[in-house]
Amino acid sequence: MRFEILPWMAVVLVLANVALASTKSDKEEKLISAIEDLLEKLEKIEDRASFLDESIRRVEYKTGRAKYSRADPYFPCPNPVDIAPCICTVNEIEVYMDMDCSGIVSNEDLRRVFSSTMPFYRYRQLTIAGVQSSQFTTLDEFSFGPVGFEIVNITGTLLQFIQDGTFAPSEEYLTALHLTKNKIKTFPFESLKTLTALTTLDLSYNDLGIVQNLESSSLRTLNLGHNPSLEIGSQLILSMPALTRLYLQNGNLSSFDPGELGPNGLTYINLANNKITNLIKDSIASTNSWTTVHLDGNPLSNVDVNFLSEVHVNATIALVGTEIVEFDKDVWRAYLERLTYGKVDMTNNPLRCGCDIAWLYDAANLYTKLSDTSACSDGTLLSDIPPEAFPFHCP
Ligand SMILES: *[C@@H]1O[C@H](CO)[C@@H](O)[C@H](O)[C@H]1NC(C)=O
Ligand SMILES: *[C@@H]1O[C@H](CO)[C@@H](O)[C@H](O)[C@H]1NC(C)=O
Ligand SMILES: *[C@@H]1O[C@H](CO)[C@@H](O)[C@H](O)[C@H]1NC(C)=O
């Protein structure tokens, strides 16, 4: 909404004056005064426009739609007394404000702080760390009033319930939600799709139970690790086209059947330390190739052919401390053949190293695609077995 006409009109007027300086007729005088009138009107329009511009900007700042600028007269933090025990800090150079509310002791404290007079409704980061008060258990639509954040970091608290609408004012610009190490039992997963800028959601080390039907067009990293009761409902992902990293380790997943994960383009998945005993065809399937798959620490004794979709040439497939006895050629040969720098890690498994692993030592030397610490049940490293032994013992 900038008026660029004004300087041009001024130039036209000067030129007209110069051109007509010597021989001004009545007509020409009239023309000049008409241009002068026009100029005056344009100036008024421009004043009006910049006033409107300014008003729109203020409304945008207030509603959090615009990023603040240092030049803005409404830049400073709220009155510190109004928002105590929260503390607002300004970064003058990069022009943003952070809010640290680690001093609160109750749900009501937050409501009071964020219903006080706020010059701005948009903050860069909110931190609430180490609040060990049983009066701080819930976040809901009233907790932050009209205020929104780009990054939220709530950690080391007894927070249990996060209700729908909590982050509604931040919908368009909340990029990261770090909610690790609380006691979160409920999170409004159904409203995830409204947080259209969110790329990282970290809910690790909480008390989540069943999670399912997730939808988000923006989320790239989802961490649900270390929730001891975590289970997947009928299907974890409904639609998450941007998601590439998924952490589900140290949960209570006992099965991981085809379709349970849902449509995805993941490259990284961590399923370590769950209760998975068996993986049938297409259980761990992505439309991307896997760069990292962690299955370590599961009581996994059986994997079927194609339990995993295509792996990246540099992939790490880790099965440390599982219960695999038979390293089956039909299951593994295709994956090992694909790996160049990648490795399959079979450290600490009860592997039976008889003639059934002779295929690892044929001309393709596929045993080199296993990690250096991969070993037989008796502890013999696979890399220490001389390849010549097999043709001799396993004709
Ligand atoms: C969250 O805040 C805590 C306490 O200030 C800090 O130790 C931690 O690194 C922060 N996490 C992130 C992701 O910024
Ligand atoms: C894990 O699931 C089993 C049932 O499958 C249940 O008995 C057990 O209590 C669960 N563990 C946790 C920590 O929730
Ligand atoms: C695999 O890793 C090697 C060594 O780090 C690297 O040079 C190569 O570009 C990688 N290949 C792909 C396809 O990423």
Strand residues in the chain grouped as ranges (E): 87-91, 96-100, 122-129, 138-139, 148-155, 161-162, 176-178, 200-202, 210-211, 214-215, 221-223, 231-232, 237-239, 245-247, 268-270, 278-279, 290-294, 302-303, 311-318, 343-345
Phi, psi of 125 (to 5 degrees): -125, 140
Q: Which helix (H) or strand (E) holds 9?
A: helix 5-20
- Give the rounded percent of residues in the chain with a pLDDT score beyond 70: 86
Cβ contacts of 128 within 8 Å, gap of 6 or more: 100, 101, 102, 104, 153, 154, 155, 157
C-alpha distance from residue 383 to each of 278, 329, 368, 375, 379 (Å) = 27, 17, 7, 8, 11
Q: Kindly state the average pLDDT of the residues 133-141.
A: 97
What is the Å distance from ligand 1's center to 153 Cα?
6
Span 325-348, mean pLDDT? 97
Report which of 188, 124, 179, 123 is spatially closest to residue 156, judged by C-alpha positions: 179
Say if residue 74's pLDDT is above 50.
no
Residue 129: CB within 6 Å of ligand 1? Answer: yes
Rg, C-alpha atoms of the chain: 32
In the reported structure, the alpha carbon of residue 317 is separated from the centroid of ligand 3 by a whole-number distance in angstroms of 16
Report the separation in Å between the CA atom of 82 and the middle of ligand 2, taken as the mean of its atom positions: 46
pLDDT at 238: 97
343 CA from centroid of ligand 3 (Å): 13
The CA-atom distances, in angstroms, between 206 and each of 83, 146, 209, 225 are 29, 27, 9, 9
Query: Do strands 96-100 and 87-91 pair parallel, antiparallel, or not at all (unpaired)?
Result: antiparallel
- Going by alpha carbons, the residue nearest to atom 12 of ligand 1 is 153
Question: Which of 239, 245, 238 is CA-nearest to residue 217?
Answer: 239
User: DSSP labels for 35-48?
Assistant: HHHHHHHHHHHHHH
DSSP class of residue 236 equals S
pLDDT higher than threshold 60 for residue 64: no
What pLDDT, on the 0 to 100 scale, is given for residue 93?
75
The structure's pTM equals: 0.83
Q: Are 203 and 192 in contact (CB under 8 A)?
A: no
Amino acid found at 289? S
pLDDT at 48 > cutoff 80? no
Ligand 1 neighbour 223 (Cβ under 6 A):
no
How confident is the prediction for the chain on average, in pLDDT?
89
Provide mean pLDDT across the span 191-200: 97
Using most ligand atoms within 8 A of CB, pick from 229, 231, 275, 277 the residue to mutate for ligand 2: 229
Q: What confidence score (pLDDT) does residue 120 get?
A: 82
324 and 346 Cβ atoms separated by less than 8 Å: yes
Q: Is the pLDDT of residue 173 over 80?
A: yes
- Across the strands, what pairs with 386? none
- 52/116: higher pLDDT: 116
Confidence of residue 180 (pLDDT cuts 50, 70, 90): very high
The CA–CA distances, whole Å, from 18 to 22, 32, 40, 253 equal 8, 11, 20, 86
Does 153 contact ligand 1 (Cβ within 6 A)? yes
- Predicted pLDDT at 280: 97
Ligand 3 pocket, Cβ-based, cut-off 6 angstroms: 313-314, 341
Ligand 2 centroid to residue 309 C-alpha, Å: 29
Give the DSSP per-residue string, 50-75: HHHHHHHHHHHHHHT-S---TT-TT-
Report how far ligand 1's centroid is from the alpha carbon of 244 (Å): 23
Ligand 1 atom with least separation from CA of 125: 14
pLDDT confidence band for 3 (50 / 70 / 90): very low
Q: Residues 295, 245, 161, 257: what is their CA dihedral angle, to the nearest 10 degrees?
A: -50
Q: What pLDDT shows up at residue 349?
A: 97
Pocket of ligand 2 (CB under 6 A): 228-229, 252, 254
Confidence of residue 8 (pLDDT cuts 50, 70, 90): low
pLDDT tier, 77 (very low <50, low <70, confident <90, very high otherwise)? confident
pLDDT recorded at residue 11: 56
pLDDT value at position 66?
Answer: 54
Q: Which of 5-14, 46-55, 300-309, 344-353 has the lowest mean pLDDT?
A: 5-14
Which residue has its alpha carbon closest to ligand 2 atom 2? 252
Point out the ligand nearest to the CA of residue 277: 2
Residue range 132-161: mean pLDDT, rounded: 97
Best residue for ligand 2 mutational test, from 207, 230, 252 (most atoms within 8 Å of Cβ): 252
Ligand 3 site-directed mutation target among 340, 343, 369, most atoms within 8 Å of CB? 340
**76-105 mean pLDDT:** 88
Distance 313 CA to ligand 3 centre (A): 8
pLDDT at 61: 54
| DSSP structural state of residue 205 | S
Q: How confident is the model at residue 62 (pLDDT cuts 50, 70, 90)?
A: low
Residue 252 CA, closest ligand 2 atom number:
1
Local confidence band at 29 (pLDDT 50, 70, 90 cut-offs): confident
**390 band by pLDDT with thresholds 50, 70 and 90:** confident
* Continuous H helices in 70-179: 80-83, 107-114
pLDDT score recorded for residue 2:
42
State the ligand closest to the CA atom of 340. Answer: 3
Dist. CA 154–CA 360, nearest whole Å: 49
Percentage, residues of the chain above pLDDT 90: 72
How far is residue 262's CA from residue 223's CA, in Å, rounded to a whole number?
A: 16
- Going by alpha carbons, the residue nearest to atom 4 of ligand 3 is 341
